[in-house]
């Protein structure tokens, strides 16, 4: 589906490992005052001037986390950075640096890695983080990318997963389920393409969900918005695995229960129509889909007036005591226990 628009294929062996590192990293600029030394020595040096340092890392493996038959390398690079920045923002910290490590086989030409780095550099630029190092090595066949994100926060600004209290409100940013549906559309197109490589898919009506899958944005804006509204969440997590399992993490670590209201779960109209087309239950998709990279957090009820008018934030639940358990309150007003994998198979 993704045509090779760049017919030039320079073999990696032409540059060698050091030549490749130099080629991929030569125009990387340093902007953060906390970056004392970036790429070029044995280690980078950072100075956060007494603030707490926040670190998060992720590993993405070809065939497990991404499929290059429909994921453009530029998007992959962008997403690999987003996944990590999202974790830093979920601590209510400022992301400031990343390191990028890649393992590649000679199946990839230099041009492919340039594309990957275009996406990585674009993400770093937009989100204002410095690329301060990494590692480059070979793999037998697949592509492996690991990004480590580093950030900082004052000690009293940091928000953990374990701070939710009874009577707090559960809030989510944006809308849910899009990334999973985008993946369903792309997987379907891949099968269609296998049968008939000449079909030109019309994916316009799926552009929102495909973008949610291929080019997610970490919610730096939400973190900044909360600061502006003077709301400090009592607990927070980012939604990488699906609403249900993230709620369970928050509740277990905070030792509380929850009522999650089905009719409050934010769904884009495209999500509802795509669910109908795929015969999927939109609640199940939101609960179990994953990869939305929205922020899920709890706030004290006193802060409700500050957030209630904001279209980017939706109150979806109510924190209970631990023994009340974790449940979805359905549209029919039934209380169903929340399960990490969703309460049904993905069909609904
Ligand atoms: P070492 O042999 O000490 O691991 P390298 O030769 O691998 O050092 O790396 C040289 C410099 O280039 C270091 O600053 C390292 O962090 C950086 N670097 C290596 N690979 C990458 C990469 N893929 N992306 C960004 N920086 C990299
Ligand atoms: Mg190295």
Query: Is residue 116 a part of any domain in this protein?
Result: yes
- Residue 4 predicted with pLDDT over 90: no
Ligand 1 binding pocket includes 133 (Cβ within 6 Å): yes
CATH number, domain at 149? 3.30.1330.10
For the cut 80, the answer to whether the pLDDT of residue 347 exceeds it is no
Distance CA 65, CA 24 (A): 23
Domain boundary among 100, 129, 157: 157
- Would you say residue 5 has pLDDT above 80? no
Together in a domain, 329 and 185: yes
Q: Are 268 and 253 in contact (CB under 8 A)?
A: no
Does the global pTM surpass 0.85?
Answer: yes
Alpha helices in 90-163 (DSSP H): 110-126
Is 174 in the same domain as 54? no
Write down the pLDDT at residue 8.
85
Which of these three, 132, 157, 182, is where a domain ends? 157
Give the CATH number, domain containing residue 305. Answer: 3.90.650.10
Residues, Cβ < 5 Å to ion ligand 2: 135
98 lines ligand 1 (CB under 6 A): no
Nearest ligand to residue 38 Cα = 1
Q: Which domain holds residue 83?
A: 12-157
Domain count, the chain: 2
CB 139 within 8 A of CB 271: no
Distance CA 226, CA 248 (A): 23
Q: Name residues whose C-beta falls within 8 Å of residue 293's C-beta, 6 or more positions apart in sequence.
A: 82, 83, 86, 179, 216, 217, 218, 219, 238, 239, 240
Residue 116's alpha-carbon distances to 5, 15, 24, 33, in angstroms, are 15, 17, 10, 26
Domain co-membership, 196 together with 152: no
Q: Is the dihedral of CA 305, 254, 156, 316 positive or negative?
A: negative
Task: For residues 112 and 200, state if they share a domain.
Answer: no
Residue pLDDT, tens place only, 128-184: 999 999 999 999 999 999 999 999 999 999 999 999 999 999 999 999 999 999 999
Percent of the chain with pLDDT over 90: 90
Cα-to-centroid distance, 133 and ligand 2 (Å): 9
The tokens for 295 are 């922020």
Distance 15 CA to ligand 1 centre (A): 15
Average pLDDT over residues 210-230: 96
Give the tens place of pLDDT for each residue, 274-326.
999 999 999 999 999 999 999 999 999 999 999 999 999 999 999 999 999 99
Which of 36, 38, 39 to probe ligand 1 with, by most ligand atoms within 8 A of CB?
A: 39
Ligand 1: atom nearest CA of 41 is 14
């Amino acid at each position: 589906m993704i045509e090779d628009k760049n017919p030039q294929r320079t073999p990696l062996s032409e540059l060698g490992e050091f030549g490749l590192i130099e080629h991929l990293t030569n125009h990387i600029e340093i902007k953060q005052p906390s970056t004392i030394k970036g790429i070029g020595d044995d280690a980078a040096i950072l100075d956060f001037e007494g603030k707490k340092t926040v670190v998060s890392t992720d590993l993405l493996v070809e065939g497990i986390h991404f499929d290059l038959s429909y994921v453009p390398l530029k998007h992959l690079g962008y997403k690999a950075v987003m996944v990590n920045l999202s974790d830093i923002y979920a601590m209510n910290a400022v992301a400031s640096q990343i390191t990028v490590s890649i393992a590649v086989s000679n199946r990839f030409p230099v041009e492919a890695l340039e594309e990957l780095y275009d996406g990585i550099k674009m993400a770093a630029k937009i989100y204002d983080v410095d690329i301060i190092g990494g590692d480059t090595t070979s793999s037998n066949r697949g592509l492996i990318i690991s990004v480590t994100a580093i950030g900082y926060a004052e000690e009293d600004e940091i928000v953990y997963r374990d701070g939710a209290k009874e009577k707090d409100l559960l809030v989510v940013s944006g809308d849910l389920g899009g990334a999973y549906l985008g993946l369903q559309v792309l997987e379907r197109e891949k099968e269609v393409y296998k049968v008939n490589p000449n079909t030109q898919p019309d994916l316009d009506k799926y552009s929102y969900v495909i973008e949610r899958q291929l080019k997610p944005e970490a919610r730096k804006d939400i973190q900044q918005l909360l600061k502006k509204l003077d709301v400090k969440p009592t607990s927070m997590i980012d939604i990488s695995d699906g609403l249900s399992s993230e709620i369970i993490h928050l509740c277990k670590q905070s030792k509380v229960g929850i009522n999650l209201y089905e009719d409050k779960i934010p769904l884009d109209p495209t999500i509802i129509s795509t669910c109908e087309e795929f015969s999927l239950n939109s609640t199940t998709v939101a609960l179990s889909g994953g990869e939305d990279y929205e922020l899920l957090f709890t706030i004290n009820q006193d802060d409700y007036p500050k957030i209630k008018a904001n279209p980017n934030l939706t109150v979806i639940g109510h924190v209970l005591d631990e023994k009340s358990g974790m449940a979805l309150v359905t549209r029919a007003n039934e209380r169903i226990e929340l399960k990490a994998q969703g309460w049904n198979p993905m069909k609904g």
